[in-house]
């Protein structure tokens, strides 16, 4: 029991697992942002299906969101500006979850266009499993945000280098 | 508190970077958006058709023909059943549109013609319709009345009306 508690404390503080989760989430954002950026108009049509924004705003969201995912993905995977990147990722998860929940309430049934996982045959239709998944991702980003140590990160490397020069 | 201020600043920078990157990628990559003015979008409702296509609409009685030329030219020769709304001068044109407003808003499509392929009166008149709130597609006969005449399509002349 004590071992599990110690491991949990170590994850919260920031160990290899925390780093792995951060890199995986970064890779997920990079992957989804890459495919969205290749077809921004197609992504715009998905955004429009949520019926949450005025049509005039949809193209702007379809242009900015994939790039935001790419930048957040790169920052998280490389481990640079982790605090800001994980904070923004949490905000994104809140926005995605609310949009999905509103559409569940409306009885909508379409591919959510979230992480382009349907390319691997993983269904991403609007539904409660997606809400749970996004909530889990929100928790992971929260874990990364509050971690004090980020192994295998550019920040960790730079900090070590600065300390060694003192 | 200081760390949160810094985080907020970094978040703003990331969002700004995403806006710039997104705009650049949208310009560079295929599959992006092309931003055009509202005016350009509304002018896309103007469609050029050939005299043969116009004839089909004429035979099907699905279209109202609008003569964009001078009233004097209209009196000399016109497509039977057409209405004269000169494209110029603007005041006369707008007066003509208002006078025929009910007809224009009817179920029939509007086909505009003028005197030659180079004449811009048809397009000028079509733009006036759009400015006045006409929201459906407007058709313009490519080549105008001469193209219609060349194919010996029905024409009503001043002589016909006099009964010569």
Q: Which pLDDT value is given to residue B87?
A: 87
**Residue B144 neighbours by CB under 8 Å, 6+ apart:** B113, B114, B115, B116, B117, B119, B122
Task: Give me the torsion for CA of A32, A140, A122, A96, rounded to 10°.
Answer: -60
CA-CA distance, A58 to A36, in Å (whole number)?
A: 14
Do A41 and B11 lie within an 8 Å CB cutoff? no
On chain B, the residues whose CB falls within 8 A of the CB of A83 are 3, 7, 10
Closest CA of chain A from B135, distance in Å:
19
Residues in chain B: 164
Q: Which pLDDT value is given to residue B164?
A: 56
Q: Which pLDDT value is given to residue B163?
A: 65
Residue A21: which of A140, A142, A159 has the closest Cα? Answer: A140
Residue B151: which of B22, B25, B6, B51 has the closest Cα? Answer: B51
Q: Which residue stretches of chain B have pLDDT < 50? A: none
Expressed in percent and rounded to 5, the helix, strand and coil fractions of chain B are 50, 15, 35
CA-CA distance, B130 to A2, in Å (whole number)?
A: 76
Are A47 and A95 contacting, i.e. CB atoms less than 8 angstroms apart?
no
Residues from B contacting A (CB-CB < 8 Å) are: 3, 7, 10-11, 13-15, 17-19, 21-23, 25-26, 29, 31-33, 35
Burial of A149 (0-12, 13-18, 19+ CB in 10 A): middle
Q: Which pLDDT value is given to residue B117?
A: 57
Give the CB-side neighbour count of residue B113, counting CA atoms within 13 A.
31
Tens digit of each residue's pLDDT, chain A (166 residues): 788 999 999 999 999 999 999 999 999 999 999 999 999 988 998 999 999 998 889 999 999 999 999 999 999 999 999 999 999 999 999 999 999 999 999 988 888 888 888 778 888 889 999 999 999 999 999 999 999 999 999 999 999 999 988 7
Interface A-B: count of C-beta contacts within 8 A? 68
Q: Which pLDDT value is given to residue B47?
A: 86
Burial of B129 (0-12, 13-18, 19+ CB in 10 A): buried
Helix A128-146 to helix A16-38 angle, to the nearest 10 degrees?
130
Interface of A with B in 33-52 (CB under 8 A): 37-42, 44
Identify any residues that bridge with B157 across adjacent strands, giving them in sequence order: B77
Are A54 and A47 contacting, i.e. CB atoms less than 8 angstroms apart?
no
B89 preceded by a cis bond (ω within 30 of 0): yes
Do A81 and B14 lie within an 8 Å CB cutoff? yes
Residue A25: which of A151, A122, A147, A139 has the closest Cα? Answer: A139
Q: Which pLDDT value is given to residue A26?
A: 97
Do B23 and A63 lie within an 8 Å CB cutoff? yes
Residue B77 per-residue DSSP state: E
């Amino acid at each position: 029991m004590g071992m599990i508690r110690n491991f949990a404390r170590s994850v919260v503080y920031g160990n290899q697992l925390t780093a792995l989760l951060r890199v995986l989430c970064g890779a997920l954002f990079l992957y989804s942002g890459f495919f969205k950026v290749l077809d921004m108009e197609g992504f715009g049509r998905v955004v429009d299906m949520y019926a949450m924004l005025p049509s005039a705003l949809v193209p702007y969201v379809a242009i900015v969101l994939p790039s935001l995912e790419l930048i957040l993905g790169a920052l998280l995977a490389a481990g640079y500006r982790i605090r800001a990147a994980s904070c923004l990722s949490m905000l994104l998860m809140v926005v995605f979850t609310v949009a999905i929940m509103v559409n569940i309430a409306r009885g909508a049934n379409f591919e959510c266009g979230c992480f382009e996982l349907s390319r691997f045959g993983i269904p991403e239709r609007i539904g409660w499993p997606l809400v749970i998944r996004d909530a889990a991702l929100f928790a992971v980003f929260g874990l990364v945000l509050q971690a004090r140590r980020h192994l295998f990160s550019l920040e960790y490397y730079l900090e070590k280098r600065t300390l060694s020069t003192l | 508190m200081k760390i949160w201020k810094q985080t907020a600043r970094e978040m703003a920078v990331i969002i700004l970077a995403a806006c710039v990157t997104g705009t650049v990628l949208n310009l560079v990559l295929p599959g992006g958006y092309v931003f055009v003015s509202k005016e350009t979008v509304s002018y896309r409702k103007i469609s050029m058709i050939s005299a043969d296509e116009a004839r089909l609409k004429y035979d099907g009685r699905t279209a109202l023909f609008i003569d964009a030329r001078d009233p004097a030219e209209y009196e000399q020769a016109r497509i039977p059943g057409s209405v004269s709304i000169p494209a110029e001068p603007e005041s006369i044109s707008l007066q003509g549109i208002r006078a025929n407003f009910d007809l224009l808003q009817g179920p029939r499509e509007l086909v505009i013609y003028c005197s030659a392929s180079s004449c811009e009166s048809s397009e000028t008149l079509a733009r006036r319709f759009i400015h006045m709130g006409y929201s459906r597609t407007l058709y313009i006969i490519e080549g105008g009345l001469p193209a219609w005449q060349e194919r010996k399509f029905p024409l009503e002349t001043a002589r016909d009306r006099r009964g010569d």
